[in-house]
């Protein structure tokens, strides 16, 4: 992978850049990620918040309480609605989760775990040798 890496929304209005390698990449099976992705899970890269910056465009967000009872916000393009990242994590304020699908090139990502498997759909297959966590590891 090359740092910095970049990404953006489907319509091209929002662009971002991250100046640090992800601390981890995970497949998240929480119900919110299922709803946001429209599928069985979402793949996210956990990056240091201070290494991330918007380089173009404007986002909107939806804030709510997560499984921890603390707040978080999903950010998306206000024009096309593409999901971009999750930030303002009350439980982990130094991190943010970049949506893998928003990266310009996601071929280098190497997911290392499945998280929130407690809410995994019964039709979602997780390899037997995969590292799994019922909730967020910590």
**Domains of the chain by residue range:** 23-119
Question: Regarding beta strands 15-18 and 5-8, do their DSSP bridges make them parallel or antiparallel, or are they unpaired?
Answer: antiparallel
23-119 belongs to CATH 3.40.50.2300: no
- Angle at CA of residue 71, ends 3 and 61, nearest 5°: 65
Mean pLDDT of the chain: 92
- Of the candidates 15, 9, 11, which has an alpha carbon nearest to the alpha carbon of residue 57? 15
Q: Tell whether the torsion through CA atoms of 19, 20, 24 and 30 is positive or negative.
A: negative
Asked if residue 3 has pLDDT above 90, the reply is: no
pTM metric for this prediction? 0.91
| Residue pLDDT, tens place only, 53-106 | 999 999 999 998 877 788 889 999 999 999 999 998 888 899 999 999 999 999
- 3-state class of 119 per DSSP? helix
């Amino acid at each position: 992978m090359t740092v910095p890496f970049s990404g953006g929304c489907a319509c091209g209005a929002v662009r971002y850049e991250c100046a640090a390698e992800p601390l981890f990449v995970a497949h998240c099976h929480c119900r919110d990620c299922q709803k946001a992705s429209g599928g069985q899970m979402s793949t996210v890269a956990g990056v240091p918040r201070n290494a991330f910056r918007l380089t173009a465009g404007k986002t909107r967000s939806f804030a709510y309480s997560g499984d921890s009872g603390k707040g978080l916000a999903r950010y998306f393009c206000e024009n096309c609605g593409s999901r971009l990242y999750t930030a303002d994590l009350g439980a982990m304020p130094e991190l943010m989760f970049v949506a893998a699908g928003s990266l310009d090139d996601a071929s280098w990502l190497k997911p290392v775990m499945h998280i929130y498997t407690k809410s995994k759909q019964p039709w979602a297959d997780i390899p037997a040798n995969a590292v799994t966590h019922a909730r967020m590891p910590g």
